[in-house]
Structure 1
Amino acid sequence: MKPPRDKRRPSKARPGQPAQTPFRPLPGGAAPRVKSDRAEAEPRQGFAQTPVALRQPVPRRPGALPAENLPLILEVLPNADYALLDSGDGEKLEQYGPYRIVRPEGQAIWRRALPERDWTNVDAVFTGDTDEEGIGRWRFPKQPLGETWPMTHDGISYLGRFTSFRHVGVFPEQAPHWSHMEGLIRDANRPVKVLNLFGYTGLASLVAARAGAEVTHVDASKKAIGWARENQEIARLSDRPIRWICDDAMKFVEREARRDSRYDIILFDPPAYGRGPKGEVWQLFEDLPAMADLCRQILTPKPLAVVLTAYSIRASFFAIHALMRDIFAGMGGTVESGELIIREKSAGRALSTSLFSRWVAK
């Protein structure tokens, strides 16, 4: 069924800048299962399909629920740094700086718009085969490529990398969150502390540091932390205050709550399933309520925002929207929820990548 047309106009965006577009949900609020390549130490382990026992009961917060703004699409348009050139038949064709790359994309169930010659004239293809074909699971049709290559995002230099789990070190759909955070930091006109949980290769941390924030970056992978530190040097932001911490995210925020540490902005981008550096198990549906509640506990008296992104789950954004409104009851502000999408260059189709919900104080 075609959803009713929304008469509101999408916000205009300059080429290469993220846009915000209102949209109508599917009947019953259903959302597609969003499957991503967000894996560092190991592939993600399936999807939660039945209710699970929570890690610990989270008491309902007293007070009025925050205002709400939904559903909302945060959109990334093609730009000089990154473009989704085409998609279809279970794959996507992307431009990362100088390289054209083909990767699997389960949601691209439509047909390709570009001819076959555009799909074969590429620099790297993720095949899923063994390491016999080169670095990790990549095939290089033209010439062997190194493990890393220079990239930029909005003037910030970093390293792209061909990893064995098909990702390349950046998730461009996050750009709207980064630009929103940067605006909050610059407009605050005061010192701002940012906590980036599940921080991966550090682009969000670098954006926040460039804007003037003091940043704490937490990830369970030593390899990702090393990569993020390398990106800080490449970006020439080594003089900016960033703490790089390899730790289990849940254990870290529990300690921060006991130490009475406080942050103005918190980003958390958890996987559906993951393990900490000491084998700690993370299950999103089981652990997310406690994590969100702890994030509230470690906010400053005048916080700016808390941003949650959810990948690889079978759920509607209405689920995490309701959770975030419950968690931030009595705090005022607004909870905005929806999907992150990338706008395709060839036919203008939208590729949904993840669900999000963010609480903003104003």
Structure 2
Amino acid sequence: MAEPNRSYQLVDAGAGRKLERFADVLISRPCAQAVWRPSRPQSVWDQADASFTREQQSGWSFRRKIPSEWTCEVGGVLFTVRPTDFGHLGVFPEHAFGWQWLQQRATEAKQPLNILNLFAYSGGATLALAKAGCEVCHLDASKKMVDWARQNAALNQLANAPIRWIVDDVQKFLHREIRRGRRYDGIVLDPPSFGRGTNQELFKIDNDLIELLDLCWQVLAPNPAFVFLSCHTPGYTPIVLQNVVSQCAKGGQINTGEMRIDPQPGSLPIPSGSFAAWQNA
């Protein structure tokens, strides 16, 4: 019997939506960037097993009964995916190229790295780095998401990997790490446009990103390997991220660009935020 297909695929995008296959479940969701016409016929879109809308009665509708959760592989990492009230599924596929970049930096280091992953969500970067032999501190303000990430770790046979699971406010945690003298060889961060800490501390990227990056550089080891910053906030283009990182970095090299999701042949890619990848010279 053939193995079931557990991989992710962008099938099509257009008319403000995207059609994605998470393992054997086909899902249609809003996508503001997809202002072009769909490449696939409507008959393909009509096959969606589940659709999410944010108009009027926001929520999910189902063509057939789907599992409450299932397993999908994205970028070489296994995830438990499940539909949430916000239309998310517990993984952002545009980050997969970044995980590969991080794994390559870890391999080039030729020694185990101690990495801090901030706003770590369901653990994609954490698990990719753990697979590459890194020790990782995984931090998110949501206990629910940290529990979800730990479930993903077990799914990837990484339940006993050297990962510290922390539920905390990012800025408060960084201040404490500075006082404690704890240092990291690399940092990964994906700050939201707006968020709340564990005690409802307010994070707003327009006000807090510069200070956040300053704190990150204070907890880096004397000879760090990298800092990988990604962002989905509208207006935070690659040039913006280049500028803010360049004001914190001491030497090294910065590569920036758009994150994207590449589709199956015949459809168009989706731009999905920006990144700035700094590595030591």
TM-score by length of 2: 0.94
The counterpart of 1:314, out of the listed 235, 252, 255, is 235
User: Structure 1 residue 333 and structure 2 residue 252: aligned?
Assistant: yes
Which residue of structure 2 lines up, in the alignment, with residue 286 of structure 1? 207
TM-score by length of 1: 0.73
* Separation in structure 2 between the aligned mates of residue 160 and residue 278 of structure 1, nearest angstrom: 27
Q: Deviations over 1:115-161 (max 9, x none)?
A: 11100112111123799xxxx9221102x223211112344322011
> Is this contact kept in 2: 1:114–1:346, CA < 8 A?
no
* Separation in structure 2 between the aligned mates of residue 314 and residue 343 of structure 1, nearest angstrom: 22
The counterpart of 2:270, out of the listed 310, 329, 351, is 351
Letter in 1 for 2:230: T
The counterpart of 2:105, out of the listed 174, 184, 208, is 184
> Is this contact kept in 2: 1:193–1:213, CA < 8 A?
yes
> Is this contact kept in 1: 2:237–2:273, CA < 8 A?
no
> Is this contact kept in 2: 1:321–1:337, CA < 8 A?
yes
The counterpart of 1:196, out of the listed 117, 120, 129, is 117
> Is this contact kept in 2: 1:310–1:356, CA < 8 A?
yes
Which residue of structure 2 lines up, in the alignment, with residue 162 of structure 1? 83
* Separation in structure 1 between the aligned mates of residue 28 and residue 265 of structure 2, nearest angstrom: 15
Which stretches in structure 2 are left out of the alignment for 5+ residues?
Answer: none
* Separation in structure 2 between the aligned mates of residue 122 and residue 251 of structure 1, nearest angstrom: 43
* Separation in structure 2 between the aligned mates of residue 224 and residue 240 of structure 1, nearest angstrom: 18
Judging changes above 3 Å, is the alpha-carbon distance between structure 1 residues 360 and 171 closer, same or farther for their aligned structure 2 residues? same
Letter in 2 for 1:335: I
* Separation in structure 2 between the aligned mates of residue 195 and residue 237 of structure 1, nearest angstrom: 17
Letter in 1 for 2:151: E
Between 267-276 and 228-237, report the one with greater CA deviation: 228-237
Per the TM alignment, residue 214 of structure 1 is displaced from its structure 2 partner at its CA by 0.6
* Separation in structure 1 between the aligned mates of residue 20 and residue 192 of structure 2, nearest angstrom: 23
Which residue of structure 2 lines up, in the alignment, with residue 254 of structure 1? 175
> Is this contact kept in 1: 2:6–2:24, CA < 8 A?
no
* Separation in structure 2 between the aligned mates of residue 213 and residue 91 of structure 1, nearest angstrom: 37
Letter in 1 for 2:12: D
Which residue of structure 1 lines up, in the alignment, with residue 44 of structure 2? 118
Which residue of structure 1 lines up, in the alignment, with residue 25 of structure 2? 99
* Separation in structure 1 between the aligned mates of residue 30 and residue 187 of structure 2, nearest angstrom: 31
Which residue of structure 2 lines up, in the alignment, with residue 226 of structure 1? 147
> Is this contact kept in 2: 1:82–1:95, CA < 8 A?
yes
The counterpart of 1:140, out of the listed 47, 53, 62, is 62
> Is this contact kept in 2: 1:113–1:346, CA < 8 A?
no
* Separation in structure 1 between the aligned mates of residue 154 and residue 133 of structure 2, nearest angstrom: 17
> Is this contact kept in 1: 2:40–2:267, CA < 8 A?
no
Q: Deviations over 1:230-286 (max 9, x none)?
A: 111111111201111110111111111111111111001000001111010001011
Letter in 1 for 2:93: P
User: Structure 1 residue 264 and structure 2 residue 190: aligned?
Assistant: no
Equivalent position SS for 2:212: helix
* Separation in structure 2 between the aligned mates of residue 192 and residue 178 of structure 1, nearest angstrom: 15
* Separation in structure 1 between the aligned mates of residue 189 and residue 55 of structure 2, nearest angstrom: 32
Q: Report 1:62-77 matches (<5 A).
A: none
Q: Deviations over 1:28-60 (max 9, x none)?
A: xxxxxxxxxxxxxxxxxxxxxxxxxxxxxxxxx
* Separation in structure 2 between the aligned mates of residue 307 and residue 275 of structure 1, nearest angstrom: 22
Equivalent position SS for 1:166: coil
* Separation in structure 2 between the aligned mates of residue 286 and residue 317 of structure 1, nearest angstrom: 18
> Is this contact kept in 2: 1:185–1:211, CA < 8 A?
yes
User: Structure 1 residue 127 and structure 2 residue 53: aligned?
Assistant: yes
The counterpart of 2:92, out of the listed 161, 171, 195, is 171
